[in-house]
Chain A
């Protein structure tokens, strides 16, 4: 029994320590963000990395999610005779919720895990120590560009997911469910406001921060050789995914107030 409480105590202690360390890394990154010189080349490389790594899965999940949303909302709305509202339902769900969340989760799985692996490898092969010895701060050199890339690229990828999702919904609605295209588009424009898209993009901004910060944290503090690198990648995916879903709830509840 005492073993159980010890276990709980250890978990709590760990959670507090990790939270502190993550916020410390965030603080250091923000400070270093404004210390010259600014090397844009590093940033562009990371933005490209996030974009290229994740584009394909974002397109795939975006389109199929839009398509399945059309089927489900048609099935539900038909019961109230409101089939004409399939368009706005798909668009609102994508823009406010599924676009940002699915993009966040997909980029976490692709780019986030790759970031953790890369930094973890650099840690266990002493490349991070080498940066220190060459008087180059690894937070500025490695972490800052990755975090900015995450923050900037997530909204971009989310817009793409929204767009392709709506297009998928349109395709199924018009060609499979035989909804009038004019009605579909007209209703969508009537009901969906710019604010809806904007709220989704604010979410994606936070998700980008969460996934890149968590990936950098797990990679940067990797211990224990190649095995440790694998562990860091797994931990970063689980931790970032859970945090994204939790953050999603709180952001949504604030936005809908």
Chain B
């Protein structure tokens, strides 16, 4: 389980996270929703130690990630996979080299064994015969799939998703949602996704948390969130310009 306690982060005196409290359950899909620029990416980057907070803590199995040095962090990071918003594939490498990269860096497997795993992971995300393509030649949806294959290459316990469907059409978004459900179900991996895509959230979430003005203002299951009467939450999930959230 991951426990985020009173997490605070500012950039140049601009408060982004202002005391975030959130429990993330093992083996479940937690979706953090919130408007663009609310600090969702900042939050997820703290979970994997890319950013250090100004205050608060994040504990993973009772160990505080925020207090770790680079070496300890690297041991923890091997238990994580991450799919970036832009997929962050290495443009100088083929699809197969991208997916096999963590295996090549952290295991003693030979090329054949790595290729076998690469093909298996690619098949899981619905891609066949793309091994030798370059990232520049892939569509947005394919990039995300390859990014997901790379994120699960090491069979991580926890996978982080930064806006898995942003920039994709609704059909592609739906297929990514199915993919997330399928890949999560097999191994009971912990998935943490951040998004402002409400249909996606309702399809995949075991638990939803809303980030607003630097705090988690509401958590609950899909059912609970749909029944919530919190006006800020309602305005966001219904996508209305009028309401307590001011639009500039």
Q: Which residues in A have some Cβ–Cβ distance to B below 8 Å?
A: 118, 121-122, 125-127, 129-130, 132-137
Whether the Cβ atoms of B84 and A134 lie closer than 8 Å is no
8 Å CB interface, B76-96 against A: 77-78, 80-82, 84-86, 88-92
Whether the Cβ atoms of B45 and A129 lie closer than 8 Å is yes
Whether the Cβ atoms of B102 and A134 lie closer than 8 Å is yes
Q: How many angstroms from the CA of A132 to the CA of B73 in the assembled complex? A: 10
Q: How many angstroms from the CA of A108 to the CA of B235 in the assembled complex? A: 54
> Chain B contacts of A132 at CB under 8 A?
48-50, 77
Minimum C-beta distance from A121 to chain B (A): 7
> Chain A contacts of B73 at CB under 8 A?
135
Q: How many angstroms from the CA of A237 to the CA of B73 in the assembled complex? A: 35
Whether the Cβ atoms of B84 and A130 lie closer than 8 Å is yes
Which size bracket describes the interface of B in this complex? 20 to 34
Does B202 make an interface contact (CB < 8 A)?
no
A-B contact count (CB 8 A): 50
Q: How many angstroms from the CA of A170 to the CA of B79 in the assembled complex? A: 65
Apart from A125-B91, A129-B50, A134-B101, list 20 A-B contacts with CB within 8 A: A126-B84, A126-B85, A127-B88, A127-B91, A129-B84, A129-B88, A130-B82, A130-B90, A132-B49, A132-B77, A134-B105, A134-B106, A135-B77, A135-B78, A135-B102, A135-B105, A135-B106, A136-B101, A136-B102, A136-B105
Minimum C-beta distance from A133 to chain B (A): 4
Q: For chain A, what secondary structure do more than half of its interface residues adopt (helix, strand, loop), or is it mixed?
A: helix
Contact of B91 among A121, A129, A134, A136 (CB under 8 A): A121
Does B74 make an interface contact (CB < 8 A)?
yes
Q: List 23 A-B contacts (CB under 8 A).
A: A118-B92, A126-B84, A126-B85, A126-B88, A127-B88, A127-B90, A129-B45, A129-B88, A130-B82, A130-B84, A130-B88, A132-B48, A132-B49, A133-B50, A133-B77, A133-B80, A134-B77, A134-B105, A135-B77, A135-B78, A136-B101, A136-B102, A136-B105
> Which chain A residue lies CB-closest to B147?
A130
Minimum C-beta distance from B127 to chain A (A): 19
> Chain B contacts of A121 at CB under 8 A?
91
> Which chain B residue lies CB-closest to A133?
B82
Q: Which residues in B have some Cβ–Cβ distance to A below 8 Å?
A: 45, 48-50, 70, 73-75, 77-78, 80-82, 84-86, 88-92, 101-102, 105-106
> Chain A contacts of B78 at CB under 8 A?
135
Q: How many angstroms from the CA of A135 to the CA of B154 in the assembled complex? A: 12
Q: How many angstroms from the CA of A132 to the CA of B102 in the assembled complex? A: 11
> Chain A contacts of B102 at CB under 8 A?
134-136
Q: How many angstroms from the CA of A125 to the CA of B73 in the assembled complex? A: 22
> Which chain B residue lies CB-closest to A129?
B50
Q: How many angstroms from the CA of A132 to the CA of B75 in the assembled complex? A: 11
> Chain A contacts of B85 at CB under 8 A?
126
Q: How many angstroms from the CA of A136 to the CA of B154 in the assembled complex? A: 14
Q: How many angstroms from the CA of A121 to the CA of B89 in the assembled complex? A: 12
Whether the Cβ atoms of A135 and B50 lie closer than 8 Å is no
> Chain A contacts of B86 at CB under 8 A?
125-126
Q: How many angstroms from the CA of A132 to the CA of B91 in the assembled complex? A: 17
Closest 7 CB pairs of A and B: A126-B88, A135-B74, A130-B88, A135-B77, A133-B82, A126-B84, A134-B102
> Chain B contacts of A135 at CB under 8 A?
73-75, 77-78, 102, 105-106
> Chain A contacts of B74 at CB under 8 A?
135, 137
